Structure 1
């Protein structure tokens, strides 16, 4: 029983890491199951190399397809070509993809054309926003998936509406939370903590990366001005991508309370999140982590593919209009933010359920 585990971007590895742990536990029991970790090379940066793999206990990839950058189409083509060659040289019994990046879609399509069944972890999540590349990736991946591993009942219902039969849907929970709960005791203080004298619940963390927020000058300036104006006297810690940093510099955005720092490792970033008063973000994954850690979260997007972080968790969708920031901050500082809860099966045991199901599938049970 030989499974390809596909990862191409940093969030993929956070989702794959606990699945690798669960497979290794099965191997210790004598179960005949093995895997090949395939890094497509879609993203590569210093935090994705040694330190990141070391922090999460991820083995070095068995294969790196070296797809690199380029346009969406160029990247997709490079991944598909590389993975097809790999499968021709040594086919696997199943291709497991996670999340919604280009690598997810490209490898799912390639495997299916090579008559290798596909399992999709985080299947069925939808934002309904076709302007997002991730939404197209989700739709295309689920269209060629055989086995769907889901994080919520909402995702299950999305799949049913698209014609997927219940026997192919496996409601297992969230592997990102497996990673979070495993490593939570190991979170470590980043240098910025002491450098600017941060105190528990007396600062806020923010992340912005979506093009609609960071590539349009007027939009970025409007959001930053409102955030600085309405976060009272609290420091605002912003791990920022160099491209966004250049844009902020160009716009002349700066403040004594705004601390723009280099992107952080997983353990350091979540140390900050866990101790913050609140998080402002446009990331989907961070809203899941804040929900489990009970940290108020404000999402600067018009839609989300993770509605359970709002209906159950601590997240609120503010939209992209800067005018929404002040009322949300007033609510936070008045101690009126919802307490939230943890969605069903976000318990740190998702990967075990996935691997148990995979063994049953591959054994024809």
Structure 2
């Protein structure tokens, strides 16, 4: 039987990025940990590139669950994570965010003598139609350590009746990750030359959420609005196409407007460099909203709501939905706004605070 102090479960690229500072902090503090990869994402090969670029160790366990229906995927992950926790017997399981991997880890740990720590706790879109919202709420209510990125997130948890002793405001580990890798991306990435774009002379688009790409008319409106805004701003749009979105484009036989250029999904450093150097970012991703805010790049969110309201509050982000004219108007407004907002997600020490909290309040041991 293997013994570990901390188990860390992840399954998607955003989790790899946001948990990378936590993994490094375990290593810095000589804390024994086991890394569990559920294999929830589409491309194991691209996942491995993320591990390589972030200089992370290979996972100790890989469930290779893959893409399935919510029930099948989550059920397989619960069983797999439970087996590992029974074997490894960690004191704490850490999960991050709002994926099915997070929910599976939360259920498995809550049934065993394993404390659960939720990194990025307390995010709320208040849209119960989002599967991620269900994952967030359920995980927070069984979690022992709720590491909220902001006071707003902490207040949401308190409003739901969660004991304040379980809530710890640490900032968001995405700040740690971006701070560590933005200069590395600028130094090592050749993506601008590869794609033939120049700093500040293009827009970046990410769109992959089911509510945006699984309905033909909505997806078409989204693309029309982005292209209309890009035309008014005289910008080309780089769109690293998510496999789900690419499949729907083909299925719906949608024409992509000339201003929008489809490219392959990008490795982490290349995507970070695209974010850093874009004039404007269009997205339906929560993580990209955060990164744009941290990097000082105006963001237009192609959704009616966001679980990152702090980005809107500081003026870094605007919610526009998928109506073409609203997208156009929001994009022009954001490009004319100032970018001197204050980063609301902390000072880049979230991973240190998370591990310090576990050391202070739990019997987290270090290797002697």
Q: TM-score range by the shorter chain?
A: over 0.9
Alpha-carbon distance in 1 for matches of 2:133, 2:340: 29
Structure 1 residue 313 displacement after superposition: 4.9
- Structure 2 residue 120 is matched with structure 1 residue 122: yes
Is contact 2:228-2:324 (8 Å) kept? no
Q: Give the structure-1-normalised TM-score.
A: 0.92
Conservation of the 8 A alpha-carbon contact between 1:287 and 1:315:
yes
**Whole-angstrom CA distance in 2 between matches of 1:46 and 1:86:** 20
Give the deviation of 1:295 after TM superposition: 0.3
Aligned partner of 1:237 in structure 2 is 238
The answer for the alignment partner of 2:172 in structure 1 is 174
* Greater than 6 Å deviation, 4+ residue runs: none
Q: Is the 8 A contact 1:224 1:253 kept in 2?
A: no
Q: Deviations over 1:161-189 (max 9, x none)?
A: 12222222111000011111001111157
Number of aligned residue pairs: give it. Answer: 358
Looking at structure 2, the residues matched to 117 and 344 of structure 1 have their Cα atoms a distance apart, in angstroms, of: 25
Provide the rounded CA distance (Å) in 2 between the counterparts of 1:313 and 1:55.
32
SS of structure 1 residue aligned to 2:65: coil
In 2 relative to 1, CA 313–187 (structure 1 residues): closer, same or farther, beyond 3 Å? Answer: farther
The two structures, once aligned, show a CA RMSD in angstroms of 2.0
Do 1:187 and 1:271's aligned partners in 2 also have CA atoms closer than 8 Å?
yes
1:5-154 matches, cutoff 5 A:
5-27=8-30, 33-46=31-44, 48-154=46-152
Would you say the 8 A contact 1:313–1:343 is kept in 2? Answer: no
Provide the residue aligned with 2:337 in structure 1.
Answer: 336
Alignment of 1:215-294 (within 5 A): 215-232=214-231, 233-249=234-250, 250-294=252-296
What residue in structure 2 maps to residue 327 of structure 1? 329
Deviation at 1:147, TM superposition (A): 1.1
Instruction: Tell me how far apart the structure 1 counterparts of residues 16 and 229 of structure 2 sit (CA, whole Å).
Output: 35
Mind listing any 5+ residue stretches in structure 1 that lack a counterpart? 28-32
Shift of 1:55: 0.8
Per the normalisation by structure 2, the TM-score is: 0.92
Q: Alpha carbons of 1:75 and 1:344: their partners in 2 closer, same or farther (altered >3 Å)?
A: closer
The 3 A distance-change label for structure 1 pair 135 and 146 is: same
In structure 2, list runs of 5 or more residues that go unmatched.
none
Is the 1:2–1:93 Cα contact (8 Å) retained in structure 2?
Answer: yes
Q: Does 1:159 align with 2:154?
A: no
| Residue 83 of structure 1, CA deviation | 1.4
The answer (yes or no) to whether the contact 2:42–2:67 under 8 Å persists in 1 is no
